[in-house]
Amino acid sequence: MEQKLQLLSSSIQVDPNNPQIPQNLKHLKLEIFNELAANRQATEKHALHFCELEVTYLLISKQIENFELAIERLMKFYNQGLESRDKAHYTGIYLIYLLSFNKFAQYYSQIELLPKDTFSNPFVHFVLQLEYKLSIGSYSDLLGDYHPTGIETVFLERIMDTIRLQTALSANASYKSLTIENAIKLFNVKSVQELQQFAQKQHFKWKFDNHHVYFDNVQNVENPLNSEFLIQNSLRYVHEFDKII
Q: Of 99 and 171, which is predicted with more confidence?
A: 99
Q: Mean of the pLDDT values across residues 234-240?
A: 50
Question: What's the CA gap between 203 and 180, in Å, rounded?
Answer: 19
Give all domains of the chain, ordered by start, each with its CATH number: 2-136 (1.25.40.990), 153-244 (no CATH)
Q: Are strands 177-179 and 212-214 parallel, antiparallel or unpaired?
A: antiparallel
- Do the Cβ atoms of 125 and 88 come closer than 8 Å? no
- At residue 230, the pLDDT reads 47
Range with the poorest average pLDDT among 5-9, 89-93, 168-172: 168-172
Q: Mean of the pLDDT values across residues 138-164?
A: 76
pTM score, two decimals?
Answer: 0.72
Q: Of 230 and 151, which is predicted with more confidence?
A: 151
* Confidence class for position 134, pLDDT limits 50, 70, 90: confident
Burial 134-160, CB ≥16 within 10 A → b, else e? beeeebeebbeebebeebbebbbebbb
Question: What's the CA gap between 179 and 212, in Å, rounded?
Answer: 4
Q: Mean of the pLDDT values across residues 212-239?
A: 53
- At residue 108, the pLDDT reads 93
Closest C-alpha among 166, 170, 176 to residue 207: 176
pLDDT at 73 over 50: yes
